[in-house]
Structure 1
Amino acid sequence: MYIVLSTGSVCRTTDNAVIPEDASNGDYAEYLAWLAQGNSPAPVAGEGKTDRLAAINERLAEIDLSSLRLLRSIVAGTAQQEDRHLLAGLDSEATDLRSELEGVMPAASERY
C-alpha cells in the first residue's frame, strides 16, 4: 500500500520508504505498476498525525545523539552514576515514543 504525500513523493507503508516522483527510480516504477493494476493509494494522514510523526522522529533522533554521547562516556570510563540514570531514562522515553509511533503510523516504528 502507498500514500501520496503533499510533495508528490510516495510513501510505501510496508516500510515507510519515501519514494521520489522520478520515473528512473525503480521503487517509483514499482508504484506506477501497482497503480496500473487498479490499486489506489491510501489517503494522506491528517495534519495532526503528520506533525506528531515528525515530532516523534525528531525527538528519537535527539535521544539517539544523547544516548551515543552517554555511551561513549561510559565506555571511556568517565561517566558518572547520574549519566547511567539519564541513559536509562532516555531509553524508557524512546520505548514510549516508539509505541506511540506505531499508533500514529503502523510499520514506522520498525525503522527504530
Structure 2
Amino acid sequence: MEKYLKNKMINIYMPKKKQIKQQKKPQVIDFFYRTNYSATTVNEFTEIWNKVYNSIPCLQCKINPVEIKKEIFDIHEPRFGILRKNYCLHCWLQKVSLTHDPVRKV
C-alpha cells in the first residue's frame, strides 16, 4: 500500500481568498510643495514674496489663491524659497467631503 501511495500523486485544492479591490480615494491631506521662487538675499526674497503673495492659483479651479509660506532651503549657503499648496481651501474641502461621510447632527 505504501508503494501505491508513493507513486500516486495526490492533488489537494485549496480555495483561493477573494481579493477585494479598494477604491482609490483622493488625497485629503494637502502638503506644501517647493516652488521655483527662491533668492539668496533677503531683499530679493522680499521683492519676490510681495509679487507672488496671493497670486499662485489653485490647480483645480485656477481662480482662488493657495496658501503659501516662506522656507529656508539651504542653511550653509543661504537660499530662501516659497512653498505652496496645490489646492485652495474651497477645492480641498470638496475633496474631503467626497472621501468622508457627512457629519450628522445629534
TM-score (normalised: structure 1): 0.29
**More strand as a share of residues:** 2
Greater relative contact order, per chain length (Cα 8 Å cut-off, separation 6+) = 2
**More helix as a share of residues:** 1
Q: Computing the radius of gyration over CA atoms, which structure comes out larger, 1 or 2? A: 2
